Amino acid sequence: GNSVTQMEGPVTLSEEAFLTINCTYTATGYPSLFWYVQYPGEGLQLLLKATKADDKGSNKGFEATYRKETTSFHLEKGSVQVSDSAVYFCALSDDAGGTSYGKLTFGQGTILTVHP
Amino acid sequence: GAVVSQHPSRVICKSGTSVKIECRSLDFQATTMFWYRQFPKQSLMLMATSNEGSKATYEQGVEKDKFLINHASLTLSTLTVTSAHPEDSSFYICSASEVGGTSYNEQFFGPGTRLTVL
């Protein structure tokens, strides 16, 4: 079956530091890949997505590239801010076309704390 | 943007009682709603998928008679935990997919409900 493995947290960084959160997956076929973010007290929000190999998703300074050869979708940001403190979830959907209408398989989540 | 609410945000109940959790799409119509369960420091586990007006589809290992799901309208789904026991204590999260929206059927998530069974 499908599975997603995320880098264990928590991750603590100073403001303006570089961020990497690793994510690898196991899936049959050609899944779509997602990063979701959950701010304190709020629901999960889609941060970015990629639907095929070598696609790069980007949003709010975050980027992740769909690497089929290494089955990875690592999240990166060049300079984090205090407001980026949240829980980040990597996820995959085995629906074609990048929709998340179908089932999502989540990683365990990584808590990020950014200090001023 | 699309907003999903859940009520209550926290509930504490005695063992053996039933608890109902509501999931509402506030500004869009949702053909499909999903219910997830999250244990501490673990990922979200899909429990069931519900389509408006039809029976929910449960994931393997999820007891249908224990976790009753109703999706009676395009804006409301409910999860009822029947005869709750301490092992049912968890964080329950719902999500909803928009009908014919421009978000390519993206799932929008509620803030979750913390259930504690004493």
Say how many Å lie between the first and final Cα of chain B, rounded.
37
* Dist CA A17 CA B84 (whole Å): 45
Q: Please list every residue in chain B whose beta carbon sits closer than 8 Å to the beta carbon of residue A41.
A: 111
pLDDT in the model for residue A98: 46
The answer to whether residues B116 and B12 touch, using CB atoms and an 8 Å cutoff, is: yes
The answer to whether residues A76 and A18 touch, using CB atoms and an 8 Å cutoff, is: yes
pLDDT in the model for residue A55: 94
Which of the 8 DSSP states describes residue B25?
E
Tens digits of residue pLDDT in B10-32: 999 999 999 999 999 998 888 88
pLDDT surpasses 50 at B34: yes
pLDDT in the model for residue B105: 58
Q: Please list every residue in chain A whose beta carbon sits closer than 8 Å to the beta carbon of residue B32.
A: 101
Select from A4, A32, A106 the residue whose CB has the most chain B CBs within 10 Å, as the one to mutate to test that interface. A106
pLDDT in the model for residue A1: 80
pLDDT in the model for residue A100: 43
- A44, closest residue in chain B (CA to CA): B109
Cross-strand bridge partners of residue B37: B45, B92
pLDDT in the model for residue B93: 95
Shortest CB distance from B42 goes to which of A45, A98, A108?
A108
Q: Max Cα separation, chain A?
A: 43
Cβ A101–B4 below 8 Å, yes or no?
no
CB within 8 Å of A33: residues ≥ 6 apart: A23, A25, A49, A50, A51, A57, A64, A66, A73, A90, A91, A92
pLDDT surpasses 60 at B102: no
pLDDT in the model for residue A99: 45
Weakly modelled stretches of chain A, pLDDT under 50: 96-101
The answer to whether residues B59 and B47 touch, using CB atoms and an 8 Å cutoff, is: yes
* Dist CA B67 CA A97 (whole Å): 31
Task: Summarize chain A as % helix, strand, coil (round to 5).
Answer: 5, 50, 45
b/e string for A78-92 if b means 16 or more Cβ within 10 A? eebeeebbbbbbbbb
CB pairs under 8 A between A and B: 53
- Higher-pLDDT residue of B55, A77: A77
* Dist CA B110 CA A45 (whole Å): 9
- Higher-pLDDT residue of B48, A42: B48
Residues in chain A whose beta carbon is closer than 8 A to a beta carbon of chain B? 4, 36, 38, 41-46, 89, 97-101, 103-109
pLDDT in the model for residue B100: 59
pLDDT in the model for residue B97: 84
- B41, closest residue in chain A (CA to CA): A108
* Integer CA distances (angstroms), A93 to A21, A26, A57, A80, A87, in order: 19, 11, 15, 27, 20
The Cα of B16 is separated from the nearest Cα of chain A by a number of Å equal to 29
Q: Assign B107 a pLDDT band (cuts: 50, 70, 90).
A: confident
Once rounded to an integer, what is the mean pLDDT over residues B24-53?
87
pLDDT surpasses 90 at B99: no
Tens digits of residue pLDDT in A36-51: 999 887 888 999 999 8
- Higher-pLDDT residue of A58, B98: A58
> Under DSSP, is residue A69 helix (H, G, I), strand (E, B) or coil?
coil
B19: how many CB neighbours lie within 10 A of its CB?
A: 19
The Cα of B93 is separated from the nearest Cα of chain A by a number of Å equal to 8
